[in-house]
Amino acid sequence: MNKIENPDRSTWAEILKRPTQTYDQIESTVLEIFDKIKSYGDSAVKQYTEKFDGILINNLEVQQNEINAAVKELSQDLKQAIELAKKNIEVFHQAQKTNPVNVETAPGVNCWQEKRPIQKVGLYIPGGTAPLFSTILMLAIPAKIAGCKEVVLCTPPDKDGNINPAILFTAQLCGIDKIYKVGGIQAIGAMTFGTETISKVYKIFGPGNQFVTVAKQMATKYNVSIDMPAGPSELLVVADDTADASFVASDLLSQAEHGIDSQVILVSTSKGLIISVEDEINIQLVQLPRKNIAEKAIANSKLIYVKDHKTALELIDEYGPEHFIVATNDNAYYVDNIANAGSVFIGNYTPESAGDYASGTNHTLPTNGYAKQYSGVNLDSFMKSMTFQELSPEGIKNIGNAIELMAEAEGLQAHKNAVTLRLNKLAKD
């Protein structure tokens, strides 16, 4: 890891730069694949699946017998763990339901707001080197609580054309309507345009690599919404001498093993802790099955010493981490004042892994600095707020003249007439 001591503010942007390609570098590839899928549907999806995943899939949709086999293959212990996580995630997201807002803004003028589910949503679940079945819980559960009518799932197949059993079990447990064996850019394209087999959706959710991230951003040009431009995973830990170095190292490595383009950062007011964490990383790293991936991610990461908590917080807000762990002698300072973070984990016994799996919070979070303007996925992500208004005769009398004056001032005579006609009718009655 790169050790940096008291960096000047003028260097922060460069120090905190993510190890990702730019949109422009990937855009042409995405456009080519999108154009083919828009024109040739399933045929193009199968072609790119064979090219990128090394397998020709004849039937893109997962069949029930495949799901049944997966359920049998999974251990009872893992099934119970998934069910426990599902319960906690349901509890937390059920609690996010809100009542309609209803107010009389003026006598006879009633306005209210209600939330309605997005009817068709698509979930993207990474497969590859780490089949993220936990992400199904994070997306399908709020989708179902929200009341989305159609929920489809795309995930890449392995070299034998199969889907990880835990993904299939979790998808069925959560009541997913359709599961498709397709990943990457071609999955996002299929859900954007629809094919003979795969439904077009109104909003796409789920994390992915840089290609998936750009594909999701491209989908927004075709009237499809997305949860957020979430790319490679990242973690920032702020810690001092009160932190356990082995815990900090384990948290940094837990994110580093996601992928070679993941980034982890330690910000500390203790030089001694930085040395201890670096030693622990070297000890723990050699024991990881995904050592090669974690090593490459660690190469993109930083150990940053700063003089005090105030400077640390300013640096962290500049970065806007996806995951933010606080392990200091003044956790409340960070919790009360942090402005930019996807999800915050407080204290020595709150690993980022808790939020990834079973605490109940959602792990689909903004990366690449988007925590400065995006929220993580929540119940409202699957809903739209609709406003309503109803004016009585008294109501139109109370605000009608104001509407007439404003419409006339904007040069919109028909707007004024719509009110004037009503007021004239009431005057005659």
Residue 123 tokens, joined: 């979930």
Tell me whether residue 309 is one of the annotated catalytic residues.
Answer: no
Single-letter residue type at 102: N
d(CA 21, CA 16): 15
93 labelled as ligand-binding? no
323 labelled as ligand-binding? yes
356 labelled as ligand-binding? yes
27 labelled as ligand-binding? no
What order of strands is seen across the sheet that includes strand 101-106? 101-106, 109-117, 383-391
Tell me whether residue 322 is one of the annotated catalytic residues.
Answer: yes
209 labelled as ligand-binding? yes
Single-letter residue type at 79: K
309 labelled as ligand-binding? no
48 labelled as ligand-binding? no
Q: Residue 68 is inside which H or E element, if any?
A: helix 64-73
Residue from 323, 352, 363, 390 carrying the catalytic annotation: 323
Determine phi and psi for 148, rounding to 5 degrees.
-60, 135
Residue partners of 156: CB distance under 8 A and separation at least 6: 49, 53, 126, 127, 128, 181, 182, 183, 184, 187
Residue from 66, 280, 322, 352 carrying the catalytic annotation: 322
Nearest to 204 by CA among 195, 213, 241: 213
Q: Residue 115 is inside which H or E element, if any?
A: strand 109-117
What is residue 182's DSSP assignment? -
Maximum separation of any 2 CA atoms in the chain, in Å: 88
222 labelled as ligand-binding? no
Residue partners of 291: CB distance under 8 A and separation at least 6: 285
SS (H, E, C) 242-297: CCCHHHHHHHHHHHHCCCCCCEEEEEECCHHHHHHHHHHHHHHHCCCCCHHHHHHH
410 labelled as ligand-binding? yes
Residue 12 tokens, joined: 């922060």
Residue 383 tokens, joined: 């809903």
What order of strands is seen across the sheet that includes strand 234-239? 2-5, 302-305, 263-268, 234-239, 323-327, 343-346
DSSP secondary structure string, 302-358? EEEE-SSHHHHHHHHHHH--SEEEEESTTHHHHHHH--S-SEEEESTT--HHHHHHT
Please state the length of the chain.
Answer: 429
263 labelled as ligand-binding? no
Angle at Cα 82 formed by Cα 159 and Cα 342, nearest 5°?
Answer: 90
Which residue positions form the known binding site for Zn(2+)?
Answer: 255, 258, 356, 415
Task: List the catalytic residues.
Answer: 322-323
Which residue positions form the known binding site for NAD(+)?
Answer: 124, 186, 209
Which residue positions form the known binding site for substrate?
Answer: 233, 255, 258, 323, 356, 410, 415
